Amino acid sequence: MKRFFPLHKLRLLVQIIALGTVLWLFLQTEYRGRDELAYPVGLLFRLDPLAALAAAFAPGAFGWALLWPALLLVALTVVLGRFFCGWLCPLGTTLDGCGRLVGRGRAIAGPGWRRIKYYLLAMLAAAAFCGVQLLGLFDPLAIFLRSLTLAFYPAVNVVGNDIFETFYQHPLPVLSPSLDAAYPFVRDHLLAYRPPVYTLALFTCAVFIGIVLLEKIERRFWCKNLCPLGALLGVCSRRALLQRTPSGLCSDCRVCATACRGGAVAEAGQHPEDCLVCGDCEAYCPQQRADFSFGHPPERTRIDLTRRGLLTSLACGALLGPVARVAPARDKLNPGLLRPPGAVAEGEFLRRCVRCGECLKVCIGGALHPALLEAGAVGLWTPLLVPRLGYCEYNCTLCGQVCPTGAIVRLPLEKKRKTVIGIAVFDKNRCLPYARGEECLVCEEHCPTGEKAIVFDQREVLFGSEPKRLKLPRVVKERCIGCGICETRCPLDGRSAILVINEGESRKPRDLWS
Amino acid sequence: MDRRDFLRETLRAALAAVVWGAVPILTLRSGPSWAAAPVPELAVRTGKEIPALVRATLEALGGMGRFVKSGETVVVKPNIGWDRTVELAANTHPLVVRTVIELCLEAGAKRVTVFDRPCNDPRRCYVQSGIQAAVESLGSNRAVIEQIDRRAFVELDIQRGVELTRWSFYKPALDADRLINLPIAKHHSVSTVTAGMKNLMGVIGGNRGVLHRNLAEALVDINSVICSDLTIVDATRVLIANGPQGGRLEDVKILDTLVASPDIVAADAFAATLLGHQPEQIASIVAGARRGLGVMDLGRVKRV
C-alpha cells in the first residue's frame, strides 16, 4: 500500500530525532549555572521498564513519581508493539547505523538463539526478585549511556581538547584563528567542562564494540537474540493492536524471510514479539502487500520457548540471588567503598542501581567512578566515590537529581551537607607535618564544613635534635562528612596522606548491638 | 590529480605548515616593576555604600587614571576561590569588583577581563560569589568575566626564586597591560592573614598545595613574576576564623573598609592590622619586604 509519507522513512526520521534527543540530554547532564538541572536528563531510564523492574523488586517503596513513564511505555507497547526497539532505542539506532559500517552478516540465527533473551530476562528477573539485581548489566539503555559516559564522550574530549590545545600553542595561519574563534562555543556546549576520566573506559568500550560487532553475524543480533529489554517488550507486544499484514510469509514470495529486520516473519508464521514495527516491509515488498494497520486480530502464535529452558533459567536466577548474597559485607573488606551522598543502604543500593552512569556523568567534581570488583562481583559499574580522583562538592546535589531508580535519593541541600559519606583519617607516616616536620594544612584550608572538620594543634615538636613549632592537623569526627576534598587536594604525589574511609556512613543501618 | 597525488600534496602542505608553526616566536617579557616609589601611597577609607567607597578610595590615590591609561588592557583579579555566597566573606564583594571595572572603563581601558582559578568547582564559584552576575550586569562588551582557559598556562623560570625556580603561570594575566589585584582580607591557618599576595595564587597553574610547605617565600616568588599595578583589599567584611573558605556568619566581621595601594606589601600589611595582627607577625609580608617586593613598615608609607 502506498502512503503519502512512507512508514520506514518516518521511522528513520524519528530514530534520528530520538538519538539526537538522547545525546542532547546527555550533554545537558552537567552543571549549567543552576543548582537544579533544567531538563529531565534521566528521562531515558525513567522510560526503561527494566529500571522499573529493578526498582519494583528492591526493598523500599516503588518510586512512582520517577518511574511512571516506564509503565506508560509498557502500556504503549501493549497497543503498538515493540516500536520502542525499532523507533526509539538509542542502541538499536546505533546498531542500524553501524551495521553497514562493520559489514552486516547475512546469517539467520536459528530459533534457539531467539530464546536466549527470554531466558536471560527470566533469570535476571528471578535473581532480582531473590536479592541480586543485574538487570543493568544487560539493559541496552544502560549499555548505551554507560559507554557514552565512560568511553566515547571522554574520548571525544581528549581529541577535541588536544586539537584546540595544539593549534593554540603552535599557531598556524588561518587554522589557529578559526579554531580559537570556535573554541568558546565548542567548550561551552559540546565538550565537558572538566575533561572526564574514568577507571573502566576501555572495558566499557570493549563491551559496546562487541555488541556492534555482532552485526557481522546477523542484523540486529543483539536485539533479536540477547536483549532482555527487547524480550520484556516483546512479551508485552504479543497482542498488540497494530499488526502487520499479511501475517506470515506469502506463498509466492519469500523476501520477508531474509529481509525482515527483526526476523519476525518466518516459515512458521509471524512472531509479533519480534516485529520492531520498523515499516521496512512496506517498502521492500515487491507486491506492495505489506501493511501496518490497527484492529487486525492477531493470530495466536506461541513464543518459541521450552518449558525446561524457562524453568532452568528461573531456577538459575533464584539460585544466584541467595548465593551471591553469601559474600561477606564489602564495606568491611574494602574501607574505601564509598557511595555518593544520598545513596541508600548498600544492600538496597545494589538492588536499585541500574548502572546507567547518569550520576557518573553529572558529578561536578569528577568524584564518581564505576566499580569493577571494589563493591563485590555484583557491584560491577556501580558508582564509587574515589576521593583521590575527585571530591563531593559541598553545595551540589546533582547525583541525587539524576538517579532514575532512587538508588541515590534526592536530598535537599541542607540535608546533603550533613550526610556522612565517610570519615577522613590521617596517614601520619606520610602527612608532612607529622612525617617530615614541614608546614602544609592544605586539607584544613579546603575543608568545607562551616566549622572545619579538620583542625590543627600548634605544638613544639622535637624533630631529630631540632625543636620545631608545627601545626598538626586532626579530624573532628562529629563534623567530618567524608566529602573527600582533603584527599583530592593533598599535595603529596601518589597516595594521599589523608584518606576517606566508610566509617560512620549515614546510610549504614545501625542495629542495637553494634 | 589522482587520489595519490592529492594525498601527497596535502601531506606536503601540512608538513610545511607544521615546520612554519614550529619556529619559536620569542616574546620578550618586561621584568617585574618592583615597587619603584620609595614611599608608597596607601589609601584607607570606610563607608557603608560600596560603590561610593570604592570611588572615594581610588580618588584618594589620584583616580584610576593614574593606573589605567586609555586603550590599555586590564585584568581585574578578584578572589572567587570558594563556592560561598557574598555574606560569608570568602570571596571579594561583587560590588567592589563591579565598581573597579566601571572605573577602569571610565579611565578608557580597551578591555577589562576578570578571572580566577578557584579551589571549588569554578562554575559554581563564579555563580555563587555573585561576581559573574555583577560583571555581566555591566552589559559592556569591554568588560568580560571568563573561565580560566586551560590551554593558556606557560611554564616560566622564576629568576629570583627562593622556594620555586620554575612554575606555570596563566598567560592572560601576564600579557595584560595592567593587573589590578582585588583580594579579600581573611583568616588563613597557614599564613595567618591572606590578602593581596596570596590572591595571585589564582593565576598560577600546577599543584598549588605544594606551595604551603614554605608559603611565605613561595608567595614572594609568584609575586616576583606577576606584578600587581594596584592592590585593592576588600575589607568590607572579613573572615576572622575558619578561613579561607568560611561558611558561618559567626566568623564574619563587618569592617566596611577598603585598602588600596600600588604597593602590594603595604596593602597587605595594613590589611593585617585590620584583622588584629602586626605585619611583622605575618611571614609572607616579612618575606615580601625583605626581598624588596614592597614596604612593610606602615610608618614609611604615605597615607593619602
Helix (H, G, I), strand (E, B) or coil at A412: coil
Query: pLDDT tens across A141-163, in order?
Result: 999 999 999 999 999 999 999 99
Q: In B, residues 263-282, which contact A (CB 8 Å cutoff)? A: none
- Provide the pLDDT confidence category of residue A307 given band limits of 50, 70 and 90: very high
> Does residue B12 belong to the interface with chain A, where contact is any CB pair within 8 Å?
no
Closest of A257, A76, B238 to residue A86, by C-alpha? A76
Q: Which of A363, A82, A377 is nearest to A223 (CA)?
A: A82
Average pLDDT over residues A457-473: 91
Residues B137-165, mean pLDDT to the nearest whole number: 94
Yes or no: say if B162 and B238 are a contact pair by the CB < 8 Å rule: no
For residue A34, which residues of chain B lie inside 8 Å, CB to CB? 127
pLDDT at B252: 96
Give the tens place of pLDDT for each residue, A209-236: 999 999 999 999 999 999 999 999 999 9
- Inter-chain touch B21–A172, beta carbons under 8 Å: yes
A43 φ, ψ (degrees, to nearest 5): -50, -40
Place of cell 569588583: B97
pLDDT category at A24 given cuts 50, 70, 90 is very high
Q: Do A450 and B242 touch (CB under 8 A)?
A: yes
Determine, for residues B190 and A393 on separate chains, whether the beta-carbon distance falls below 8 Å: no
Please, which pLDDT band fits residue A191 given cuts at 50, 70 and 90?
A: very high
Q: What residues in A contact B209, CB-CB < 8 Å? A: 440, 442, 489-491
Please state the φ and ψ torsions of residue B226, each to the nearest 5 degrees: -100, 115
Question: Averaged over A411-417, what is the pLDDT?
Answer: 96
| Alpha-carbon span A428 to B295, nearest angstrom | 39
Longest dimension (CA), chain B: 81
Say whether A438 and B120 touch across the interface (CB within 8 A).
Answer: no
Suggest the residue from A391, A452, A455, A493 to mutate for an interface test with chain B (most B CBs closer than 10 A): A452
How many CA atoms are closer than 13 Å to the CA of B103, on its beta-carbon side?
Answer: 28
User: Is A354 within 8 Å of A139 (Cβ atoms)?
Assistant: yes
Mean pLDDT, chain A, integer: 92
Those residues whose C-beta lies under 8 Å from the C-beta of residue B165, and which sit 6 or more positions away, are B157, B158
pLDDT for res A99: 87
Look at A105-109, A380-384, B121-125, B129-133 and tell me which has the smallest mean pLDDT. Answer: A105-109
Average pLDDT score over residue span B137-156: 95
- The residue in chain B having the minimum alpha-carbon distance to the alpha carbon of residue A471 is B190
Contacts 24+ apart (CB under 8 A), B56-62: B57/B232, B57/B258, B57/B259, B57/B260, B58/B100, B58/B103, B58/B232, B58/B260, B60/B260, B60/B304, B61/B230, B61/B260, B61/B261, B61/B262, B61/B304, B62/B304
Measured between CA atoms, the residue of chain A closest to residue B20 is A172
- Across the interface, do B124 and A393 touch by the CB < 8 Å criterion? yes
Residue, of A299 and A281, whose pLDDT is higher: A281
pLDDT of A513? 53
Q: For B193-233, write each residue's pLDDT tens digit.
A: 999 999 999 999 999 999 999 999 999 999 999 999 999 99
Burial class of residue B173 in the structure, from the number of CB atoms within 10 Å of its CB (0-12 exposed, 13-18 middle, 19+ buried):
buried
- Whether B26 shows a pLDDT value over 60: the answer reads no
Q: Residue B25 has what pLDDT?
A: 53
What angle, rounded to 10 degrees, do the helices at A140-147 and A90-102 form? Answer: 70
ipTM of the complex: 0.91
Average pLDDT on A420-426 reads 97
Alpha helices, H only, A29-138: 43-46, 49-57, 64-80, 83, 90-102, 111-129, 135-138
Decide: A325 and A38 in contact? Cβ < 8 Å.
Answer: no
| Chain A residues touching B20 at Cβ < 8 A | 172
Q: Which helix (H) or strand (E) holds B72?
A: none
Query: What residue of A is the nearest CA neighbor of B248?
Result: A450
CB A275 within 8 A of CB A114: no
Distance CA A81, CA A84 (A): 8
pLDDT greater than 70 at residue B1: yes
Evaluate if residue A337 carries a pLDDT over 60: yes
Whose cell is 534520528? That residue is A16
pLDDT at A293 over 90: no
pLDDT of residue B35: 45
Report yes or no: A314 and A122 within 8 Å, Cβ to Cβ.
yes
Q: So what's the pLDDT on residue B157?
A: 94
Contacts of B207 in chain A (CB under 8 A): 491
Q: Is A413 on the interface with B (CB under 8 A)?
A: no
Confidence band, pLDDT 50/70/90 cuts, at residue A67: very high
- Paired with B253 in beta bridges are B238
Whole-number pLDDT of residue A187: 92
Q: How confident is the model at residue A20 (pLDDT cuts 50, 70, 90)?
A: very high
- Interval A28-50 mean pLDDT: 94
Return the half-sphere exposure (C-beta side, CA atoms, 13 A cut-off) of residue B151.
18
**Contact criterion met (CB < 8 Å) for B124 and A396:** yes
Determine whether the interchain pair B121/A364 forms a contact, defined as Cβ–Cβ distance below 8 Å. yes
Q: Can you give the pLDDT at residue A511?
A: 59
CB contact under 8 A, B245 and A446: yes
Q: What separation in angstroms does the CA of B97 have from each of A171, A465, B45, B129?
A: 33, 50, 16, 11
Residue B237 C-alpha, separation from nearest chain A C-alpha, in angstroms: 17
A96, A102, A103, A109 alpha-carbon torsion, rounded to 10°: -70
Helix, coil or strand: residue B143: strand
Q: Which of B243, B271, B272 is nearest to B257 (CA)?
A: B271
Query: Tens digit of pLDDT for each residue in A88-122?
Result: 999 999 999 998 888 888 887 788 899 999 999 99
HSE-CB at A261 with a 13 A cutoff on CA atoms is: 24
Q: What is the mean pLDDT of chain B?
A: 92
Which triple of cell numbers denotes residue A16?
Answer: 534520528
> pTM for the complete prediction?
0.91
Sign of CA dihedral A373, A376, A380, A382: negative
The pLDDT of residue A299: 65
Show residues of chain B in contact with A388, CB under 8 Å: none
Is residue A184 within 8 angstroms of chain B, CB to CB?
no
A425 near B CB under 8 A: no
pLDDT tens profile B42-81 = 999 999 999 999 999 999 999 999 999 999 999 999 999 9
For position B29, what pLDDT does the model report?
45
For residue B209, give the nearest of A33, A169, A491 by CB distance: A491
SS3 B234: strand
- The Cα B211–Cα B287 span in angstroms is 14
Nearest CA in chain B to A163: B151
What is the rounded CA–CA span in Å between residue B21 and residue A391? 39
The Cα–Cα gap between A129 and A261 comes to 33
